[in-house]
Chains A and B, each alone.
Chain A
Amino acid sequence: GAVVSQHPSRVICKSGTSVKIECRSLDFQATTMFWYRQFPKKSLMLMATSNEGSKATYEQGVEKDKFLINHASLTLSTLTVTSAHPEDSSFYICSAMASGVGSEQFFGPGTRLTVL
């Protein structure tokens, strides 16, 4: 099956620093990638939709200058949390979708971000 990786799996940083999370599709080309945020015992909340070569589409209430998304190639999308604060601590999960292959999204393993 299709494999999506995320790096790092876990990161702890100080308040005010920026953190970059990578999402890679390992065995397929992902024309669309999605970034989700999940708080403990809560559902997945879509943050943005990223299409290769174009600007990301952010969901209402998500600050695009705070959460920078770059989908530079068909196998890589990055999410940068800028000037992170404790309230940004969360589980961030990406998913990837290949063109012409139904509607299934393949999820990465997630990144646990803790901001001190």
Chain B
Amino acid sequence: GENVEQHPSTLSVQEGDSAVIKCTYSDSASNYFPWYKQELGKRPQLIIDIRSNVGEKKDQRIAVTLNKTAKHFSLHITETQPEDSAVYFCAASRGGGNKLTFGTGTQLKVEL
């Protein structure tokens, strides 16, 4: 089955700096890669996703890059703000009605 690894497990940045979280996956048939933000005790919220037919996607301060050959994808957050502090999860799926496999999570802390 699919295995998704995520690094780092914790990340502290100064407000205004950039944050990068990286994930690798094992299943070459995976073609859908979402990123979720989860605040304590809340549901995961989709912040951006990418499909395997593109290499990069951007939405304001958030961007995701995908390298299918190397089987890794990354989340980039620019101009970080305190409200970006949360746990971020990457995930991978074969798409359609298939299940998501989640990474282990990254606790991001944006310090003033």
Chain B interface (Cβ within 8 Å of chain A)? 32, 34, 41-46, 49, 51, 89, 93, 95-105, 107
Contact = CB atoms under 8 A, between A and B. Distances in A.
B104 A112 contact: no
Contacts of A105: 100
Given A34-B99, A107-B44, 11 more contacts: A32-B97, A42-B105, A44-B89, A46-B99, A46-B102, A102-B32, A103-B32, A103-B95, A104-B34, A110-B41, A110-B43
B96 A103 contact: yes
Interface string A97-116: 10100111101111010000
B44 to A, nearest CB: 5
Interface in A20-77: 31-32, 34, 41-46, 49, 51
Nearest to B96: A103
29 contacts: A31-B97, A41-B105, A41-B107, A43-B102, A43-B103, A43-B105, A44-B44, A44-B89, A44-B102, A46-B99, A46-B100, A49-B99, A51-B97, A91-B41, A93-B43, A102-B95, A103-B32, A103-B49, A103-B51, A103-B98, A104-B34, A104-B49, A107-B43, A107-B44, A107-B45, A109-B42, A109-B43, A110-B41, A112-B41
A102 B93 CA distance: 12
